[in-house]
Structure 1
Amino acid sequence: MKISIQILIILILSLESASSQTFNAYVTMVNGIEYRIDPRIELFNIVAMQIGHSGMTLSNIPYKQQALKRFSDYQAHPAPKVLRETWEKGWGIDDPMFFLLYLNEDFSIKEELDTDIITRGGGKEQLESLAASLKEYAEASDFYSFFNDEQKDFYEQVLFQTRYNFRSFEAVDVLENFYGKGNGKYTVMLNLISDYGNFGKIMELGGVSLFYAIISTPLASGDVPVFKPNLSTQELILHEFSHGFVNPQVNPFSDRLSGYSPLYGPIEQAMKSQAYHHWHTVVNEHVVRAAVLEMLSQELPEILVRNTLYRKEMGRQFIYIDKIREKLAGYQQNREVYPSFKDFVPELITVFDEITPDYITGRINEPLLVEMAGNKKIPKPYDFQKDSTTFFIVGTKEPDPIAQQEMHAFADEYRQMFSKDIRFLTDEEALEMDLKNHDLVLFGTVEGNLLLKKHMSNLPISISEKGVVTNRFIEGEDLQLVTSWISPYNKEKSFIVYTAQKTKNIKNFYHSMHKDQFHYWVAKDLITIDKGDYKKYWNIWMVDIFE
């Protein structure tokens, strides 16, 4: 009897110990944003890997391998099966992550869980079963030790890098200057394993708005995932937090917005391919994306935003953002009338009255987007025929006639290094010719070469007297640029550019072994300052926004 009582006491104590286990807080605060590694997300992703979920990141391999090996004995646990069942009930792409936000640390479900998430997940009992199975899995596998101790150094390294990388990123100021001040708390959850989407959510707790952005990254260095405020991540964080400002203000107008639902038709296929199956969701996405473009255009050169993020949105067929941006410009110019975004929403939604069939046709058939959509690759600067089908074309309108003459001499010498059969033309001569069957190699400044001036705006990078815009703004003087694109006359032919801020610097490019190895190369005195290759996002070629 005495032994039985002792055993009972031990069992009770062990159960109390298991139920009272807690997770370490891996968090760093940077400029008003809390960056966090969350145990619910890490546990969920480990279980998801065990059912073969295909949306895991291609990087961060050692961490994934450690997790798979560490929890291999628990693949037969009920949790993976229940998770699969829940997904198959009809969960959408963002439902799992939002469900996790509504889990307490003891895996009980908060009462505020969205009814739509419950419905799509198979009902309340199904989600309670999932939450309970995740809790049992964590306890049976001792996930607590994995998260708190075994991966502590790894998590702290991720946060250390993140804190340093985001030290100058002032997203909270940007958001609240645009939408208006709010009583909010901002948290970025760093998703270390999965890469099937990024998500934003706002929750209300005790009068405080909790803004969440759950982000992943394709980048890694030394087997450690790297989160940094490149163009993509800046857009991503502003986008996800913006949903917390936009959705609560636009949603009350759902009945009115439903009257514009025929506008969904022209873009339905593109929207459904991105998991936006309802017109009202598409409205929110358009407004958020237009707002983010406006915010970033105030923080970054407009040409940078237009050449990258705007191109991407048009490639994804968010064709109404131009009209919405026009409206938002009016909002920003009249803040005394509209102190906050909330005040402006009734006016904003009238924008859909202005959408005409001609506007829709013009955006869907935008020449640059249609022209580039089918291209499988962009030529490099060395990709041109070394024969008479290639034209070397020099500018004749350079402001410095002596520098222009020297540039002509260099271009001719450079031509002969490849082949004397290559034809040597002026820009004026070229503009009078049929160029569709020729590779074109241009020399001159944007203003000094008439052919370059005509087509430079089609390229995803730019050069001006202030600097060069690639996936960042490179300020400076005497900068040189070599880049390549498809010919505006024939997408099977090359359009190669040797240019600079000043005519005098368009020379001696043959002294650099790097100048033609990338889609774009920026230099000063032939010393590399920036380089990169174009990437294809949603059928649109542009600079790499993840670098």
Structure 2
Amino acid sequence: MKKILIALALFTTTFTMARTPVRSTIDERVELFSIIFRLAGNPEYNMKFAKHYIADINAHFAPYKNEPVISFAKELATEKNMGFSKVMFLAVHLKKSKNGFAMIPEQNSNLIGKWDPADAEKFVGLVNSFYRRSGFNLFFRAHKKRYTQATKDFDQSIDGFDQQWYLNYYGDHQVDYRVAIGLGNGGANYGPSVTPIGSKRRVYAIMGSWTFAADGTPIFARETYLSYLIHEFNHSFVDHILEQSPKIDSMLIASGEILLAARRKEMKLEGYEDWHSLINESLVRASVVRYMIDHKQSQKEINNEIAKQREKGFTWMEDLVQLLGEYETSRVDYPTFERFYPRLTTFFEKTAKNISR
């Protein structure tokens, strides 16, 4: 009887999680960091789709464009290639502390390889000064109505998004899903994560906004935004495996460098200039196709997605999708994605040899 009750409880929990919709937010940390790097001049944080919102940003923050944190952000961008997802990784590693922010204590930080600890500490100190001096919270609260409407519209557009698929596919059930909309982030989307001590790992999809009505209202078409949401959440389950394992890193570095050299032009167009990004993006994009297959999308849609990824430089996409199909049907041997990684390293080694020929 006890086993039956346990099984029933597990079924109920799984069913509830599958039916629980994702609720988006406008995250103050995301807006703060994106505005700082906008003022610093990073191109990926200077897209101009949200014209009305950007006008408000410029009007409020123009007097603070020479603040020390802006100068330091410029220095980091120039000297350490700071930008894109690295910015958002630090943002989600912060928690509100009085009238500012502090680092979230972690057991194993996935900031390693993205931020030098001394740089991160200095940057957060300067962020707090900027936050107070610029009256950032006043700006944030003044746009509450705009933010509320954006999250409502976004949530309606992604209704039916399947959270449970990720838990089953990756074998990692200890996660807390979070969606943050970056209204000024343009067409850039990011998938950072953070694991506070004593808490579930928080997996984020930080979604950009690149379609707007004439009155400045963001438009979130399901056929446009849902695929990007699926993509970004995959990052939160994939990236940390390579980033936190020196053994896997050493096994993949040779093949990763070969593939990057062969596809450097295409990868640069996508914003990927290191082999870690190439490997992680390969796995994420192939897993998006697996999501499509598992959710019974048409063969035409699946073929189009594979073709699109091949055009972007991931010419091994079809073979990788097939290999991940073997992973899905061998879960007794590979209960988690991480356990399957030796097969993946072999795949990339073989692909690198073929591309060298």
TM superposition score normalised by structure 1: 0.54
Pair 1:134-2:130 in alignment: no
SS in 2 for 1:160: helix
Contact 1:82–1:129 under 8 Å retained in 2: no
Pair 1:233-2:230 in alignment: no
> 1:99 corresponds to which residue?
90
Gap change, CA 1:80 and 1:277, over 3 Å in 2:
closer
> 2:314 corresponds to which residue?
318
Contact 2:21–2:160 under 8 Å retained in 1: no
Q: Distance in 2 between matches of 1:250 and 1:51?
A: 30
**How far off is 1:351 after superposition?**
2.0
Pair 1:109-2:100 in alignment: no
Find the partner of 1:62 among 48, 52, 60.
52
Contact 1:97–1:199 under 8 Å retained in 2: yes
SS in 1 for 2:195: strand
Q: Distance in 1 between matches of 2:352 and 2:154?
A: 45
> 1:145 corresponds to which residue?
138
> 1:176 corresponds to which residue?
167
> 2:14 corresponds to which residue?
none
SS in 2 for 1:199: coil
> 1:414 corresponds to which residue?
none
Q: Distance in 2 between matches of 1:236 and 1:314?
A: 17
Contact 2:151–2:181 under 8 Å retained in 1: no
Task: Kindly provide the CA deviation profile for residues 341-394 of structure 1, in whole angstroms up to 9, marking residues without a partner as x.
Answer: 23322233322354386x6499xxxxxxxxxxxxxxxxxxxxxxxxxxxxxxxx
Gap change, CA 1:356 and 1:82, over 3 Å in 2:
closer
The alignment's C-alpha RMSD in Å is: 2.7
- TM alignment of 1:501-516, pairs within 5 A: none
Q: State, as a whole percentage, how many aligned pairs show the same letter.
A: 23
Contact 1:41–1:191 under 8 Å retained in 2: yes
> 2:302 corresponds to which residue?
305
Pair 1:213-2:202 in alignment: no
- TM alignment of 1:287-298, pairs within 5 A: 287-298=283-294
TM superposition score normalised by structure 2: 0.80
SS in 1 for 2:310: helix
> 1:47 corresponds to which residue?
36
> 1:284 corresponds to which residue?
280
> 1:467 corresponds to which residue?
none
Amino acid at match of 1:329: G
Q: Distance in 2 between matches of 1:167 and 1:237?
A: 12
SS in 1 for 2:179: strand
Gap change, CA 1:263 and 1:84, over 3 Å in 2:
closer
**How far off is 1:207 after superposition?**
4.5
> 2:252 corresponds to which residue?
257
SS in 2 for 1:104: strand
Find the partner of 2:190 among 196, 199, 204.
199
SS in 1 for 2:94: coil
Q: Distance in 2 between matches of 1:265 and 1:355?
A: 13
Q: Distance in 2 between matches of 1:353 and 1:81?
A: 42
> 1:3 corresponds to which residue?
none
> Using CA pairs below 8 Å that are at least 6 residues apart, which structure has the higher relative contact order?
2
**How far off is 1:313 after superposition?**
0.9
Pair 1:31-2:20 in alignment: yes
SS in 1 for 2:188: coil
**How far off is 1:92 after superposition?**
4.3
Q: Which moved more, 1:185-194 or 1:55-64?
A: 55-64
Q: Distance in 1 between matches of 2:75 and 2:242?
A: 33
Task: Kindly provide the CA deviation profile for residues 38-58 of structure 1, in whole angstroms up to 9, marking residues without a partner as x.
Answer: 112222333333344433333
User: Unaligned stretches of 5+ in structure 2?
Assistant: 1-18
Gap change, CA 1:66 and 1:297, over 3 Å in 2:
same
Task: Kindly provide the CA deviation profile for residues 178-214 of structure 1, in whole angstroms up to 9, marking residues without a partner as x.
Answer: 2235111011110110236321122222251110121
Gap change, CA 1:73 and 1:248, over 3 Å in 2:
closer
Pair 1:344-2:316 in alignment: no
Amino acid at match of 1:54: P
Amino acid at match of 2:343: E
Larger proportion of strand: 1
SS in 2 for 1:195: coil
Q: Distance in 2 between matches of 1:79 and 1:348?
A: 41
Gap change, CA 1:354 and 1:43, over 3 Å in 2:
closer
> 1:87 corresponds to which residue?
77
Contact 1:31–1:167 under 8 Å retained in 2: no
> 1:535 corresponds to which residue?
none
**How far off is 1:246 after superposition?**
2.1
> 1:500 corresponds to which residue?
none
The higher radius of gyration belongs to: 1
User: Unaligned stretches of 5+ in structure 1?
Assistant: 1-29, 363-547
> 2:180 corresponds to which residue?
189
Pair 1:77-2:95 in alignment: no
Amino acid at match of 1:194: N
Larger proportion of helix: 2
Gap change, CA 1:353 and 1:59, over 3 Å in 2:
closer
Task: Kindly provide the CA deviation profile for residues 103-157 of structure 1, in whole angstroms up to 9, marking residues without a partner as x.
Answer: 22222234545233333xxx61x43343223222222232222212x11111111
Q: Distance in 2 between matches of 1:249 and 1:193?
A: 30
